Amino acid sequence: MKGNKVNFIPANAILLIGPTGSGKTPLGNYIEEYGFNGKRCFHFDFGHELRSIAGIDPPPHGFDKDDHAFIRGVLEKGLLLENEHFHIAEKIVEYFLNRKGFRDDDMLLLNGLPRHIDQAQDVARVADIRKLIVLECSPDDIFGRILGNTGGDRTERTDDSIGMVRKKLDIFERRTKPLIDYYSKINSKIFRIKVTTTSTAENLYSGLISIPGIF
């Protein structure tokens, strides 16, 4: 791992939440490039981090062979990290923050973590999620976006088969979507954006920053 170990726990984090194919990664990258309310904002794309670490052999410093094998298995089977494996997610977050040179006054944009309510309680140790950006997209629009690679982020993805996408949508409805109510009940602010087949990251960003109270 490069650089000094990061000990700072972000006091202000945003969770970007939406079903697979709804444009989370392109929007997150766009926010990272253009900032958020004048702050540096680092987009932590959990799926991207998993794929990146899985492709490094030997695994990066801090990850043992069992961690590496488990990460690859998660990707191949489309599974979620459950509570007993959250230590791996913590390693991935730490690896990301160190690599980015995260500072106390920066903002962390979480995408793909937490993925379910039990995990949210673990994430609270490393991030204080005060806002949610919810991307709302119908299944038809999701398949249209994936087939057309609308966001430009599906190239060479190996987990976009119809069966795998349907499995991810089912998991999102059952396990991930309840996070919206969970965070609402603990007074996090919820901001919703409608996503269509043709919505681009630029469109979504423009819509986002125009929402009253987003900052």
pLDDT per position in the chain (215 positions), as tens? 444 444 545 457 999 999 999 999 999 999 999 988 888 999 999 988 998 999 898 888 889 888 898 888 888 877 667 777 888 888 899 889 988 988 888 999 999 999 899 889 889 888 889 999 999 999 999 999 999 999 888 887 777 889 999 999 999 999 999 999 999 999 999 999 999 999 999 999 999 999 988 87
Tell me which residue of 123, 214, 135, 209 sits closest to 172, measured CA to CA. Answer: 135
Q: Where are the domains of the chain?
A: 13-201
CATH of 13-201, one of 3.40.50.300, 3.30.420.40, 3.30.950.10, 1.25.40.80: 3.40.50.300
Amino acid 4: pLDDT: 43
pLDDT by residue (tens digit) across 167-193?
A: 999 999 999 999 999 999 999 999 999
Amino acid 215: pLDDT: 77
Q: Which residues pair with 43 in a beta bridge?
A: 109
